[in-house]
Amino acid sequence: MPDSSLVPWPSVGAQHLSVSERAWLSPSDDYWRAWLRRPELALVPESCVAEEALHAAMLDQPSRSVMAGQIDAMRDPDVRENWRHFLRLRDAVRKAGTLEAAWAGFFARGAVDVPPLFLDLLVQAMVARLLEGERDALVWRAAELLFRRQRIQLHEGRVLCGDEQALDMLNETGGLGSIGSLLRQAGAHLAGVEVAVLGADNAETYMGSVQRDAPSRHLLDLTHTVQQNLPHGLVLTMDRAQSGLTALARVLERWIQHLHGVQVHIEVQTRVEDPAWRWHVGLDAEATLLLNDLYNGETLSDDRQRRLLSLFRLRFADPDQQREDVRGKSVYLGLAMNAQQQLRLKPQNLLLNLPLSASTEHAQSL
């Protein structure tokens, strides 16, 4: 389980962030040095002289100004593009003062001009600090949904969620890394590598992967309601207190508190039976469409119904922090997979779409 020495996902540099007065995160030079060591910017044997020179200068002084000609002189067009994106991100964070303010600013402008990967890395660093002291491995694994695409597998009545990058890597290499990839290219048969559902028996192994910054092979069980057949044709229906969805709800509560300074309680729902349903937020693009259609009374096909993985009910601890027209009413959240059984949660939806009062939004902007 996590302990005081845990450095989660070290390559994102969260350990090099300082906490501002409002508990948001300000970068140090070492934070930007961590970016320079990432695969998108790190030197390789093919790096040209111009790239080597700028890389060395930036490691020495990450906040230095960079002239356009220094980027234009690089030989590889992909490298040039990565550097331009990185500098745009660095300058936005420096201007905003914190990772959170810069990240929110990208979406507030309506024109995001940095790659999704770079935005995911900002969220990952925020989450790493947000979960400091957390001892529940399920919560750490659920938090990965905020910045890593997942693949959903429906298996024997269970909803299992796996890291797409890790699953693709295992499929390609059989779990043997670059050697496995070469063997596959040579036509060798590799025995399938099993992945494990995260639980108490393997939580420590999972947390080791967090410290190694490795894509997780542990599946998150999103099954919340289970049924058991009893004698005489009776069926017992139970909610799992330790489901992945419950862990995700705890993460989302902290995320909202961190972004908005608003305390909420989120609970898993199997359906919405609320005649006063007035507001909903899709946690991903598919869920947004599904909730809109349900709200408008449209009938969903069986295929679309199967894509809806969960509903949540969100309640504000202080109703005065809600918009006046929905004050005291529940906000419903939806989580869904797309037709390819992929799940891409969009944490910015909880930044932009909650019904906050004007005074709460003003306090957030200060």
Tokens of 37: 């060591």
Average pLDDT of the residues in 215-224: 89
Residue 203 has pLDDT above 50, yes or no: yes
Side-by-side strand order, sheet with 331-336:
264-269, 308-316, 331-336, 279-282
Tokens of 188: 């060798």
CA distances from 66 to 62, 71, 88, 100, 171 (A): 10, 8, 11, 24, 41
pLDDT tier for residue 135 given thresholds of 50, 70 and 90: very high
Query: Which carries the bigger pLDDT value, residue 195 or residue 241?
Result: 195
Per residue in 80-122, pLDDT tens? 999 999 999 999 999 999 999 999 999 988 778 899 999 999 9
Instruction: Output the pLDDT for position 62.
Output: 97
Instruction: Output the pLDDT for position 237.
Output: 42
Per residue in 159-197, pLDDT tens? 999 999 998 888 765 543 443 343 344 443 434 456 899
CA 348 to chain centre: 10
Tokens of 190: 């590799």
SS3 labels along the chain? CCCCCCCCCHHHCHHHEEECCCCCEEECHHHHHHHHCCCCCCCCCCCCHHHHHHHHHHHHCCCCCCCHHHHHCCCCHHHHHHHHHHHHHHHHHHHHCCHHHHHHHHHHCCCCCCCHHHHHHHHHHHHHHHCCCCCCHHHHHHHHHHCCCEEEEEECCEEEEEEHHHHHHHHHHCCCHHHHHHHHHCCCCCCCCCCEECCCCCHHHHHHHHHHCCCCCEEEECCCEEEEECHHHCEEEEECCCCHHHHHHHHHHHHHHHHHCCCEEEEEECCCCCCCCCEEEECCHHHHHHHHHHHCCCCCCHHHHHHEEEEEEEEECCHHHECHHHCCCCEEEEEECCCCCEECCCCCHHHHCCCECHHHHHHHHC
**Do residues 32 and 41 touch, judged by C-beta distance below 8 A?**
no
Tokens of 108: 């507030």
pTM of the predicted model as reported, rounded to 2 decimal places: 0.89
Question: What percent of the chain lies above the pLDDT cut of 70?
Answer: 86
Query: Which carries the bigger pLDDT value, residue 109 or residue 233?
Result: 109
Instruction: Output the pLDDT for position 230.
Output: 43
Which among 199, 246, 234 has a CA at the least distance from the CA of 219?
199
